[in-house]
Amino acid sequence: MPPLTPAIVELAGRQHRRGEAASRLLLQTRAIAFVEGYELRRRTRRNDVHAELARIRPDNRGFAYEGAALAAALADLATPRRGQRRYGLGSSDTHLGSLLAGPGTGFVHLIHVGAGWSAALLPWRMLHRRLPLDSLLRWLAVDGAGFSRGFFGGPRWIRRLAHRPDREDPVQAVLCQGVGRSLWFVECGDGAGLGRHIERFPPGLRRELWAGVGLAASYAGGGTDRQIEQLLTLGGEDRAALAQGAVFAAEAQRTAGHIPAHTEAAVSAFTGVSAHTAADWARDSYEFARALGSEIESYRWWQCEIRSRATAVAD
């Protein structure tokens, strides 16, 4: 696995918007935590990595687990497997499986997202075949692939993506959610800049991008009161998608055992309910979605169910 340095996630070096100083500093800290987690997993024996990750402050630990997941996924993908043996979630036979075990269960969402970063190098279908992913959460890996491409590709790549042919493709929709998350970093939380990028996309994909923005704004934070108010001017399906992203953030933070103040504030603003109630929306419909099957349509049903709940509260 190649080493990573903090310079690779330097926001200013990628033509990302400089934004307000406090927002930029916090988002840069989140990105550096990702690199720190990657390096910890790269240098540390798989059974010891959880103790090292536990030293990272709670607000940044999820990002560190995301980086560690990329390192573990690359190690698994580079390891020859005999035949077509299937590995279960959390299997200690794999690098990613050992990361998902023990304390890693609290970061199951971020680990799936981090594994998806490897799709920048390999087809996402290979990830689904080769890695020990959850049957439903594995679609978060596609979201992770979208984030990595948007973050590293920057504004120019995102503009090119916006002009690709529009088609009814659920995988493209989930990929765009990851791109939406990256936009929060690319635009440093600036609502006007976010809107300009998203308006270039076909109407059917805009709500998916806003879902990613809602997740990033709620999970990573970095938004000022003014920036959050800019997002609250959204209406209709875009507003429901923004809320759905916030709900996913609430569930990921609660699963990790720590809901930061910035997540509570953003989730409350976007959904109209507390972060704990929003997390209940995700958890209540998760098992039903799993029962529908492992294909992406089940994952999309899960998201649509959450958007319906958010719409009902708004009405």
Tell me the percentage of the chain whose pLDDT exceeds 70.
Answer: 95
pLDDT at 14: 66
Place of tokens 């875009």: 238
Question: With pLDDT > 90 as the criterion, what percentage of the chain qualifies?
Answer: 73
Residue 12 has pLDDT above 80, yes or no: no
Q: What is the pLDDT of residue 175?
A: 95
Q: Which tokens go with 136?
A: 């439903």
**60 pLDDT above the threshold of 80:** yes
**String of DSSP letters for the chain:** -----GGGG-SGGGT-----HHHHHHHHHHHHHHHHHHHHHHHS-TTTHHHHHTTS-HHHHHHHHHHHHHHHHHHHHTS--STT----TT-TTSHHHHHHSGGGGGGHHHHHHHHHGGGGTS-HHHHHHHS---TTGGGHHHHHHHHHHHHHHHHHHHHHHHTSPP---HHHHHHHHHHHHHHHHHTTT-HHHHHHHHHTS-HHHHHHHHHHHHHHHHHT----HHHHHHHTT--HHHHHHHHHHHHHHHHHHHHTT---HHHHHHHHHHHSS-HHHHHHHHHHHHHHHHHT-SSHHHHHHHHHHHHHHHHHHH-
Span 217-238, mean pLDDT? 92
Q: Measuring CA to CA, which residue among 287, 228, 241, 264 is closest to residue 59?
A: 264
pLDDT at 42 over 50: yes
Phi-psi map region of 40: left, alpha, beta (phi>0 left; psi -120 to 50 alpha): alpha
Threshold 0.85, pTM exceeds: yes
Given the structure tokens 């799936």, which residue do they identify? Answer: 112
Query: What's the pLDDT score for residue 1?
Result: 74
Banded model confidence at residue 87, pLDDT cuts 50, 70, 90 = very low
Question: Lowest-pLDDT range, 28-37, 49-58, 114-123, 281-290?
Answer: 114-123
pLDDT tens-digit profile of 178-225?
A: 999 999 999 999 988 999 999 999 988 999 999 999 999 999 999 999
The per-residue pLDDT for 88 is 52
Q: Residue 235 class from Cβ within 10 Å (0-12 exposed, 13-18 middle, 19+ buried)?
A: exposed
Better-scored residue on pLDDT, 254 or 6: 254
| 108 Cβ contact list (under 8 Å, min separation 6) | 100, 134, 137, 255
Structure-model confidence comparison of residues 253 and 19, the more confident one: 253
Residue 19, pLDDT above cutoff 80:
no
Q: What is the mean pLDDT of residues 97-122?
A: 93
Question: Residue 268: which pLDDT band, with cuts at 50, 70 and 90?
Answer: very high
- pLDDT at residue 83 in the model: 38
Give tens-digit pLDDT for 132-166. 999 999 999 999 999 999 999 988 899 999 988 77
Neighbours of 236 (CB within 10 A): 10
Average pLDDT score over residue span 167-184 = 94
Residue 34 CB contacts under 8 Å (≥ 6 apart), including other chains: 9, 63, 64, 66, 67, 114
Bigger pLDDT: 315 or 84?
Answer: 315
Note the pLDDT of residue 89: 56
Mean pLDDT of the chain: 91
Q: What is the pLDDT of residue 112?
A: 97
pLDDT at residue number 166: 76
| Amino acid at the residue 187 | E
Kindly state the average pLDDT of the residues 284-300. 93
**Per residue in 88-102, pLDDT tens?**
555 567 999 999 999
User: What pLDDT is recorded for position 91?
Assistant: 56
